[in-house]
Amino acid sequence: MDDPMAGGRSESAAMNLPVWTVLPLFQSSRREVIGMVRESESLGLTGVLAADHLAGWRRPTSPVLEATTALGMAAGVAERRVGSLVLQTALRSPLYTASVAATLAAVCRAPPLIGLGVGDGRSRTESNRLGIAQPSLAVRMRLLKETIAAVRALAPGVEIWVGGWSREVREVAAEQADGWNAWGGEPAAFEVAVEQMKKTNPSVSVSWGGLLDTTRPLDTLRRTLLRRVDSGAQALVVALTPPRASTLRRWAPAIFCRPTSRSGADR
């Protein structure tokens, strides 16, 4: 296995592209969540984000921490930014989500980020297991727009991202949100989507997120990030596996070595 500390600290220190990491919510340890917050801050990352899931990752009965509750815990210890990526707008009313955003804005020491999404096949499976029917895409798109409007009204100034690859979601992101996040996908598809987003709204912030498996070679992990930056990413959201603070501590200084974005800025 590669030495994670080989040739990376000086370049990592010079990095100015915003980099977020993801809270470890597929477990039941408060210590792991707080440890991830503190480790990300010690490394100078932009902040931590919570994903919205209702069931365990590999088994439905495995532990999972609820996203908005975990965000409150993270906000209690974080000096830097916390946020969501993404909250499913079909699980909460627009005003409920707006209240979450307003609460985070009031209690966080740094501006929060609210990422919103309409759900996917995995979220449908999770909802069905709990007896929650996932609405049609048309209803979920309406809820997304209404939630953005509610957050704007109740928590003005809170940064809003919309996550998802579909054309409809990208249009809402470009027209109504502050940023768009693409999770996974191929670099070529990401580059095309970025170009389309920027034509619609040149000021929209574009980010890429994904899982990085630390059993793979370091050069492969670095190339994954570099290719997204070269394709137009202005911020990165990285979930290292296994999802622990110790993983971040060991690998982040080497993995996050890359040149600056062509046009990115930390909003």
- When pLDDT is cut at 50, 70 and 90, the band that residue 62 belongs to is confident
> What residue spans define the domains of the chain?
9-255
- When pLDDT is cut at 50, 70 and 90, the band that residue 61 belongs to is confident
pLDDT of 267 over the 70 cut:
no
Lowest mean pLDDT among 38-47, 125-134, 198-207, 255-264: 255-264
- What per-residue confidence (pLDDT) applies to 186? 96
- Mean pLDDT along residues 98-116: 98
Architecture of domain 9-255: Alpha-Beta Barrel (3.20)
pLDDT of 266 over the 70 cut:
no
Give the 3-state secondary structure of the chain.
CCCCCCCCHHHHHCCCCCEEEECCCCCCCHHHHHHHHHHHHHCCCCEEEECCCCCCCCCCCCCCCCHHHHHHHHHHHCCCEEEEEEEECCCCCHHHHHHHHHHHHHHCCCCCEEEEECCCHHHHHHHHHCCCCCCCHHHHHHHHHHHHHHHHHHCCCCEEEEECCCHHHHHHHHHHCCEEEEECCCHHHHHHHHHHHHHHCCCCEEEEEEEEECCCCHHHHHHHHHHHHHCCCCEEEEEEECCCHHHHHHHHHHHCCCCCCCCCCCC
- What per-residue confidence (pLDDT) applies to 8? 40
- What per-residue confidence (pLDDT) applies to 257? 66
- What per-residue confidence (pLDDT) applies to 130? 77
pLDDT of 195 over the 90 cut:
yes
